[in-house]
Amino acid sequence: MKNTFGNSISVTLFGESHGPAIGVVLDGLAPGIDVNEEVMADFLSKRRPSSDLDTARREEDHFQILSGVFNGKTTGTPLAIVIPNEDTRSKDYTYGPARPSHADYAAFCKYHGFEDYRGGGHFSGRLTAALVAAGGILIPALEKKGIRIETHIDSCGGISDGDFDEQIRKAAAENDSVGGTTETTITGLPRGLGEPWFDSVESQLSHILFSIGGVKGVEFGSGFALADMKGSEANDPLRINDAGDVYTETNHNGGINGGITNGMPVVFRCAIKPTASIAQDQKTIDFQKQENIDFCVNGRHDPAIIRRACPVIDSVTAIVTADLLATRYGTDYLAE
């Protein structure tokens, strides 16, 4: 199992949903980056369940920084963050019945029964809290360099306009769930980031975005709509203004050409699937007993994970952005 991502700056995830704690190790950070624990706590609050539209599992996310920070600044050594699990209810989970669209059966095939299955174990969305904690350090550092990352819900429950909350409440009342799409914009990036072929901007972002359990599709710029355009429509005309700045009149390519940033905003969208855990009888198997069964998922779950996915997407985008910058300009870039 490989749980580390990144080249010059890397992140390693650890922990399970119902284990003692989850956490993240950030390695390769420059010394001297500001670390504000109040800002980190604020970032974590954006991911935390906060209303009747979210799971009833309420974790306070009281994190602890174990290493890599001294007097409010990074030291340049590995930065370890631990977040205790304080609101687990393991009795809701049994081993054998495979929850449809979860990792239960696939994990059994790979780890031969040794995996921690409670609450999804290492595959749980609970681990995204650790990614958001890392984002609470990297996003402010990027903003000091004039780089901003913003994600919003673009559609939910099949609608692009209207009351998203109403769609979620309706699904919850039917013991069901809904998905949707998000849109993310990165502004202020310098031109020339990206390492083609295989570490292009799209490659790196897609790699980490698909590591978020609910993400099932990613498109950049106009994405799949480009397939229905002519070249004359899809091409982004290049211009130069009086100040000598180069820009494009449109941004169908999402700020990236040849896998490299061109100075325009990087824009991408993610397709977020409906929450797999629903309180309805579903056809599945018990892989322990080797038999077909009907199974209703117990536990506490979100009727739509898309609301809480936005800060996670912001955070993993910040990880990639920081790594791309450090690869091109050196690891001290964020602290300069």
pLDDT digits (tens, 9 = 90+) for 120-164: 999 999 999 999 999 999 999 999 999 999 999 999 999 998 889
Please give the span between the terminal C-alpha atoms of the chain, in angstroms, as a whole number: 35
**What pLDDT is attached to residue 103?**
96
Q: What is the per-residue pLDDT for 57?
A: 60
Q: What percent of the chain has pLDDT over 70?
A: 97
Flag whether pLDDT at 321 surpasses 80: yes
Higher-pLDDT residue of 1, 53: 53
User: pLDDT digit string (tens) for 166-225?
Assistant: 999 999 999 999 999 999 999 999 999 999 999 999 999 999 999 999 999 999 999 999
pLDDT single digits (tens) 97-120: 999 999 999 999 999 999 999 999
- Going by their DSSP bridges, the two strands 69-70 and 64-67 should be labelled as unpaired
Question: What confidence score (pLDDT) does residue 108 get?
Answer: 97
Please state, in angstroms and rounded to a whole number, the distance separating the CA atoms of residues 249 and 211: 33
pLDDT tens, position by position, 216-274: 999 999 999 999 999 999 999 999 999 999 999 999 999 999 999 999 999 999 999 99
Contact 14, 1 (CB under 8 A): no
How do residues 274-288 score in pLDDT, each as one tens digit?
999 999 999 999 999
β-sheet bridge partners, residue 10: 27
Which value, in Å, is the radius of gyration of the alpha carbons in the chain? 21
**pLDDT above 60 for 1:** no
Domains and their CATH numbers in the chain: 4-335 (3.60.150.10)
**Is residue 203 exposed (0-12), middle (13-18) or buried (19+ Cβ within 10 Å)?**
middle
State how far the Cα of 263 lies from the Cα of 63, in Å rounded to an integer. 36
**Residues 270-280: b if buried by 16+ CB within 10 A, e if exposed:** bbbbbbbbbee
pLDDT digits (tens, 9 = 90+) for 15-65: 999 999 999 999 999 999 999 999 999 999 999 876 667 666 667 899 999
Name residues whose C-beta falls within 8 Å of residue 125's C-beta, 6 or more positions apart in sequence: 213, 214, 305, 308
> Residue 11 belongs to what H/E stretch?
strand 10-15
Give the model's pLDDT for residue 50: 67
Cβ-contact 57, 300 below 8 angstroms: yes
Give the pLDDT confidence score for residue 300 in this predicted structure: 73
What are residue 7's DSSP bridge partners? none
CA 95 to chain centre: 27
